[in-house]
Structures are given as C-alpha cells and as structure tokens.
Amino acid sequence: MKKSALILTVLFMALSCGGRKVAQTTATTSVQTPEFCADSAFSYIKAQTDFGPRVPNTQAHDDCGIWLAAKLASLGAEKVYLQNFNAKTFDGNTLKCTNIIGSFNIDSPTRIILCSHWDSRPWADNDPDPANWMKPVDAANDGASGVGVILEIARQMHKQTPEIGVDCIFLDAEDWGPGESYQGNDSEKWWGLGTQHWSRHPHVEGYRARYAILLDMVGGKGAVFCREGYSIKYGRPIVEKVWKAAGKLGLGSLFPPVNGGYVTDDHYYINAIAKIPAIDIIPYLPNCEQSSFGPTWHTVQDNINNIDKKVLEGVGKTLIEVIYNEKP
C-alpha cells in the first residue's frame, strides 16, 4: 500500500481481553457470538510464512495459494473461486496471480466482504540495512496476519453460521508497488493490482455486497488502528460500526476514536471501481521512526517472531462482534 501523510495524535494500546461475548443487537434481542482463538489465527499465519515469501511468480506463492484454497474449503466455504489473471507491473514484469475467494452462507442475498492481500513484497526496501533492500519479505504481518484472522473467523462461521453471507477474499499482487525512488507521477495505480482486477471482474457476475472490511497488518506488536481517511470518506457508517463494536468489547485503546490520514490500499479500489463501501483496518504509529505502519513494514523483520497474539485477538473479536450482529 502507498501511504499519505498522517497528521493526528494517537492513543496507544492497552488491550483488554475477555471470554465469550454476548452482544446486544436491540433492547430485547441478544446474539451469542463464537469465541475468536488467537492461537488458531497465529497458526494460520505461521503456515503461510512456512512456505517462504509469497512473491508472485515463485513456487512459494503458488504452493501457498493451493493451501489457502484448500483451507477455505476445509473450513466450510460452500464455494471456493480461484480467479487467475496476469498483471503488468510498474517495472515491466508480468505476474501470474490468483485472487482466492471463499463464500459462506451462500444462499443469503445479503453479503459482506472480509479481505486481505496474501502476497509478499519482493523487496525489503524500507529495511534500515541497505544490504537487505533487494531481499523478499516474509510478510507475517503485511499480508499473512489479515489472512490468518479471516481464516479463524471462517473456522468459527463453519461452527456457527451468521445470519448474513460472508465472502472471504484473499487478494493477490497488492505489494509490488514502486518504492520511494520511483519517478513517475502514477505510482498509486501500481498498488493493489489484484484488487483492481477483482473490482472490474468480480468472481460472480453482478456481484454486490453491503460493505467490505479490509485487514492489513493486523498482528504487529504495539499496533493501534485509527480511522483511515478513505474509509471515512466512502464508508463512515461502517467505520462507526466497527469502532463502536471495539469500544463495547473494551478494546477502545486498540481502536481509538481518532482520525488518521489517507492510505491507498486495496479498499480504495473496492470503493472507487467496484462501488462497494469499503474500510481499512490498518495501523497508525505516528511516533515510530521507521514507519507509521510500524517498525517491521517492508523490512526483513516482518516475520513470525514479531506477531502479537493479543492484537490478533482484539481485531478478530471485534470483527466477530460486527458480523454476528449484522442482519439481512
């Protein structure tokens, strides 16, 4: 993803954890929600990183894609779609890519999207050591964490079906965008290549969803998730729904009521091209010297050792609260 300048001050994280949650949807109706398991989400992240960096046009990428499709099916996806396509990159490469979609409660006409990119950045070009700049990134946080959280939610949906339909979309070729040295004035269009393809050619003809929630870097140590600019512009009611759910669960310090700046991420293209309201859950750490996305962003340190299960749990519990209180 490409970042814009972020301006506001943020509260820092102090997670509050609990057990099974009974969520009130109205004054007289309650919903029993399943319990998100951070250990399970972590295991799904590790399974991805064990393949190695999932850079398009590599064996690790292809093998992980096969595993993800099979995992969605094993977790109860009633249909799994493999959307194969070629993508041209800013540096003249042609990537063989696959968007992977697993659909749950497929008979429900009311649908929401949970999505994350699953590819790895081919270069650790934000690493403090220039010797690492051409090395690929494990992408435990920047890619695998969002997928891991979604897979754990899928596991829970297999046990307890929500009232609405959910499409879990793993988007390819998000992270082959140009670095800071790029001289063109069109750098933003080279990010989110898989999302741009899906937004123009959805997996089901005429597909519509009530909204989409993008998960990006949702497992980093010390993460704080502010309300991203494009999310507010296109999907303010969704932002309010998610941040309210987090506050209800005692997770307000992980999801503080603070506006961040604008990030050109996968959700931007879902909004702009597919015309589906979409928001981004993405960290903002303004006092981090290495990057406002966190110290491991586009570095070789983005590995399994820097994943925080408490952050995974906070994000997962919040999304389950939202999903199971959504009505057709």
What pLDDT score was predicted for residue 3?
A: 56
CATH number of the domain bearing residue 108: 3.40.630.10
**CA quadruple 127, 174, 152, 286: dihedral, nearest 10:** 50
3-state secondary structure of 112: strand
Q: Looking at residue 72, what is its pLDDT?
A: 98
Sorted by sequence, the CB contacts under 8 Å of residue 132 that are 6+ apart come out as 124, 299, 300
* Sequence-distant (≥ 6) Cβ neighbours of residue 173 within 8 angstroms: 56, 87, 89, 95, 97, 117, 119, 192, 193, 194
- d(C-alpha 67, C-alpha 123), whole Å: 24
pLDDT at 24: 38
Q: Which pLDDT does position 30 carry in this prediction?
A: 60
Count of domains observed in the chain: 1
Cα–Cα nearest to 174, from 257, 269, 253, 260: 269
Q: What are phi and psi of 32, to 5 degrees?
A: -85, 115
Q: How many angstroms separate the CA atoms of 206 and 21, rounded? A: 36
Task: Give, for all 328 residues of the chain, the pLDDT tens digit.
Answer: 665 433 333 333 333 333 333 333 334 356 899 999 999 999 999 999 999 999 999 999 999 999 999 999 999 999 999 999 999 999 999 999 999 999 999 999 999 999 999 999 999 999 999 999 999 999 999 999 999 999 999 999 999 999 999 999 999 999 999 988 888 889 899 999 999 999 999 999 999 999 999 999 999 999 999 999 999 999 999 999 999 999 999 999 999 999 998 999 999 999 999 999 999 999 999 999 999 999 999 999 999 999 999 999 999 999 999 999 999 9
Q: Is the pTM of this model over 0.85?
A: yes
Angle between helices 309-324 and 38-49 (to 10 degrees): 110
Segments forming the whole domain that contains residue 74: 2-324
The predicted pLDDT at position 5 comes to 37
